A = this chain, B = another copy of it.
Amino acid sequence: YDYDGPSMKTSVPGPRSQALTKQLGEIQNVGAVNFFCNYEESRGNYLVDVDNNRMLDVYTQISSIPIGYNHPALLKLMANPNHLSTLVNRPALGILPPENFPDKLTESLLSVSPSGMTRVQTMACGSCSNENAYKAMFIWYRNKERGHNMPSDEDVSTCMINKAPGCPDLSILSFNGGFHGRTMGCLATTHSKAIHKLDVPSFDWPMAPFPRLQYPLEEFTRENAQEEARCLEETEDVIVKWRQKGNPVAGIVIEPIQAEGGDNHASPDFFKGLRNIARKHGCAFHVDEVQTGGGATGKYWAHEHWGMDDPADIVSFSKKLLTGGYYHKDELQADKPYRIFNTWMGDPSKNLLLAEVLNVIRRENLLEEVTRSGKALLNGLYDLQAQYPGILSRARGQGTFCAIDICDDATRNSILLKARDKGVLLGGCGDRSIRFRPALIFKEYHVHIFLNIFNDVLAEH
């Protein structure tokens, strides 16, 4: 059901997209709009725009389309009249769940649980997933401090006016270059771009350095190990410092691959070290898989590549999982109802889609496909960077979750636009990286279509 290649009629955005952008501009800020899409005509790896341009989509709605556009299995699912009720009656899941809710969780999210986790809380997007994961860590930490879960009268009265000890001075440690969302709790742990944070009040929470590795990783093992050791050491210093200044670290949050911040990788040893530091200092360890989760690295979870039995206390997800939420170890479950709560607590119509997406991933062996395409993609990028050393550097990736650096920001942006006009939709990340975020159905021959076009773009530069 895929198209056989890009097909371009106009430069992008074309005239129809421009007219619609003008129309939408009367209603919203449209500075970020790339172009308008015809989602009915889009299929598989191809996104069709309103000017009838058909582009190979290597960005997939900021990495959130798991199995391509209009996958027949999903169309069939949604056309099934048995599911109409799920589409029109959105329940308050925390108080009045539908009959099939436990079964749906078991057959979908729990069928791909991270190691050591049998509990999952659904949410509706990456931000509320992380916000609630942070709250769960704070609650856990305070109960640990108390030695029991009975708040004092002072806790109860002070929390109502935003004061300690009820609203305690506790922090979440995050990393330079990390991105965990844009609501105010999440945003205090986000350090990717200034425009995300500017003018928004924040918390006095600590930031540690994320390793800045040299690629290919295999060629710089010694240098990279040193850099990671430095970062681990600084992380530990920061934890001690924040404890001393009366704002202890309740949890550490980290992406297995920093995505928005520029596709920064670190080794399994680094994450193991960090896990140990968290344990040593009594901090919860939260792995944010909002962008990395769902199969793009060749495994359901990027942290599986670390090979650990007990990789984390909390793992949050969204995007390709279609629903949001987080898995957690038993002790991270809030002790009382209504502590982790909101009106909807997710959306069963998204759980329904997710269950079918997981079926498709299994049936079509998509994780193996991703591993295969990912190798072809990364090797292709290595070749191109050998060919264009003045433009390209630092090709890196796991599965199809790949990236490459461009010599400077302006060149990066011009390459993105030129690629788009030739029928390849890509996204940027960090200061001057291009990130590759195809759907899981991106096969080896799609890699070659991409590489050919990318080569043409580079040749013209």
Contacts and interface: CB of A to CB of B under 8 A. Distances in A.
Contacts of A195: 336, 338-339
A422 interface: no
Given A88-B75, A166-B198, A199-B138, A31 B337 contact: yes
A334 B29 contact: yes
A23 B102 contact: yes
Given A78-B88, A88-B75, A131-B183, A200 B33 contact: no
A204 B336 contact: no
A112 interface: no
Interface string A391-409: 0000000000000000000
Interface string A2-41: 0000000000000010001001101111111111111110
A79 to B, nearest CB: 6
Interface string A81-116: 100111111111011111101100110001000000
A181 interface: yes
A308 interface: no
Given A62-B92, A198-B339, A183 B28 contact: no
Interface string A333-351: 1101111111110000100
B27 A119 contact: yes
Contacts of A141: 199
Contacts of A334: 29
A47 B91 CA distance: 11
A127 interface: yes
A451 interface: no
Report how many copies the assembly holds.
2
A159 interface: yes
A207 interface: yes
Interface stretch (A63-71, A224-232, A296-304): A63-71
Name the residue in A16, A35, A338 with the highest tally of chain B Cβ atoms < 10 Å from its Cβ. A338
A385 interface: no
A185 B182 contact: no
A42 B205 CA distance: 47
